[in-house]
Amino acid sequence: MSDITIAAQARHLTAIEIEHFAQHGYLKNLPLLNEQGVQRLQHDFMQLVESVPETVDIYRINNWHKANRWFYELGGIPEILDYVEDLLGPDFYQWGGSFFIKFPNDESTVPWHQDAKYWPLEPRETVTVWLSVFDTDTENGCMRVVPGSHRWGDLDHKELEGVNWYTESGEEMRKSKYVLWQQVDPESFEPSDAVDMDLKAGEISLHDDDLIHGSTGNPSSRMRAGITLRYSPCEVKCDLSIWPTFESYHARGVDRFNHNPVGKIPAGNGYPTQFNQNSSDFD
């Protein structure tokens, strides 16, 4: 995005940071936007929130990069791609883009889970970027992660009471106190080992798709808002029999595999209305 300004401190990852990610599965407080960039991000974000009908649950609807040109262009910011390339290598694509919003006094929670349980991708290799729109901390329900849990393999999860985002309507989804519908076995980790992913506005975090993470509600008077962008190496293939609307958006390098359908780039600033829509649904 040519009109959002980047912090002078934005950079490539150091060897120590790359090793930390390999061992612990996450990095946080990476610089991205300067003060002017943060102000522009917050302005554009609030404009988008105010433009979306109340019937659309921004938090529980995914694939914003397919529907909204502004969101799509965020995922192509070169400095974000620099960070991702340092972890995934030179050839990768974007396939996910969502908002994670908790309004003041919002009791909804994200259960402890591994992202990879929701995605029929092979091999399991995805890096998620979490861009903080406003300051996020313990007080307003920041994400928490269990360091090193990405090296424990595919852990057992159970279905939570409530709704399955794949099968229920938006109205039913909003009735659930949970955001997502599976929870990792609580016996598989010690909650006291979790680390707060506190971020200043304009900073990003990165986490592995097998890392156990979750978040509480937001009892504060401040909004907690972040933008997630998900990337995988070009060798990663989706099982389309399970996820037929999966689409890739080439980010960097060369795709020598051509495993996945390619999504249509959005022309306008629309919004998704259902879970896992196809890019052809939007202008």
| Span 163-213, pLDDT tens digits | 555 555 545 544 444 456 688 988 888 989 999 999 999 999 999 999 999
Q: pTM above the 0.75 mark?
A: yes
3-state helix vs strand vs coil in the chain, percent to 5? 25, 30, 45
For 99-103, 148-152, 240-244, which range has the lowest pLDDT when averaged over its residues? 99-103
Assigned token pair, 21? 């990610």
What domains does the chain contain, in order, with CATH numbers? 15-264 (2.60.120.620)
Residues 152-179 as b/e (b if ≥16 CB within 10 A, e otherwise) read beebebeebeebebeebebeebbebebb
Residues of the chain with pLDDT > 90: what percent?
A: 77
Query: What is the pLDDT, as a whole number, of residue 9?
Result: 97
| Span 8-64, pLDDT tens digits | 999 999 999 999 999 999 999 999 999 999 999 999 999 999 999 988 888 778 999
Dihedral sign from CA coordinates of 107, 108, 110, 111: positive
